[in-house]
Homo-oligomer: A and B are copies of this chain.
Amino acid sequence: MIVVMKVKATAKEISDVIARIKSDGYEAHLSEGEERTIIGVVGESPTPLREENYATMDGVDKVVRISVPYKLASRQFHPSDSLVPLNGAQMGGNKVLVIAGPCSVESREQIIETACAVKEAGATALRGGAFKPRTSPYSFQGHGEKGLQWMAEARERTGLPVVTEVMDPALVPLVCQYADVLQIGARNMQNFALLNAVGESQHTILLKRGMSSTVEDLLMSAEYILAHGNKRVMLCERGIRTFEKATRNTFDLNAIPVLKALTHLPVLADPSHAVGLWEYVESVSRSAVAAGADGLIIEVHPKPDEALSDGRQSLKPDRFKSLMQQVRRVAEAVDRTA
């Protein structure tokens, strides 16, 4: 941490800051410039350094944090890639893995039909929502446990593991009974009660980036799960909110190589939400793989114009098959498989 003093900070103000640094158990290194004094805070101590408290002291202009605040998620302390097992393969390994399925589980037939189709096209896992976070209380909210049962049946048929969202800490045990991977949706990325609850399970977690969360916020939320002892965490970029209105969200492609540099956790992309219009999902999928994504999660629906949610961004099975072929070619161009 660095404390930057104001241009007119008094000697008393400077010595107060130094005294506090020492009393917190750290060392203070002074750089006295023409214009102002800068104080480097170094060393280790059991007392946490709260930047805000220093920022509030008289004579302090600003406080600059130096260390990354996420230790468990950081590649700095864990240089090699974490591999998360999925259906006999490994997310984070050389093969790009694709999770596919409908936004919502709507019926037994729909989920089984979709599961068969995405399996045939080469998907590694099946997605589907039984508990749906909907902006409107009047929209379809999901079939709940019945939806989970249908997904489990689809798994039996196809062998595809089930990825599904959990929204309430109290429902984590129930969802764990049926699902292989628990998804934390964008709206719940900073639902800390939920992060704690899934951190205590030993299920694999797919953590989606919040729509106004920075890359660092995402890593801090992963840190919650890791700090509770669950190491099977996969991150997912799914588009952020910006002023652009031509697409549902703005896909932050940059976040993919940045995350791969900052963390050892696998990084996925969700092109369906990132762009929100099915006609662009293939392009965005190819780009995510070209940029280094370890996996994709794609919405597929047999009849998008009858979908109870997200029909506008869902691919028909045929288009998904074509997407898989395109993704494979791009994966090869970056020395991976898919």
Contact = CB atoms under 8 A, between A and B. Distances in A.
B242 A243 contact: yes
Interface stretch (A145-153, A156-164, A208-216): A208-216
A42 B50 contact: no
Contacts of A40: 31, 33, 38, 40
Interface in A230-287: 240-247, 250-258, 261, 274-275, 278-280, 283-284, 286-287
A188 to B, nearest CB: 6
- A contact face: mostly helix, strand, loop, or mixed: mixed
A44 interface: yes
Interface residues of A, number: 108
A187 interface: yes
A55 B306 CA distance: 11
A316 to B, nearest CB: 10
Nearest to A55: B312
A98 B244 CA distance: 27
A216 B139 CA distance: 15
Contact of A279 (B133, B135, B261): B261
Given A56-B305, A170-B193, A289-B290, 14 more contacts: A2-B2, A29-B31, A31-B31, A36-B66, A167-B192, A187-B192, A188-B191, A212-B241, A214-B243, A214-B246, A215-B244, A215-B246, A253-B284, A333-B333
Closest 9 CB pairs of A and B: A212-B212, A31-B40, A33-B42, A29-B31, A290-B290, A168-B193, A287-B287, A257-B283, A187-B190
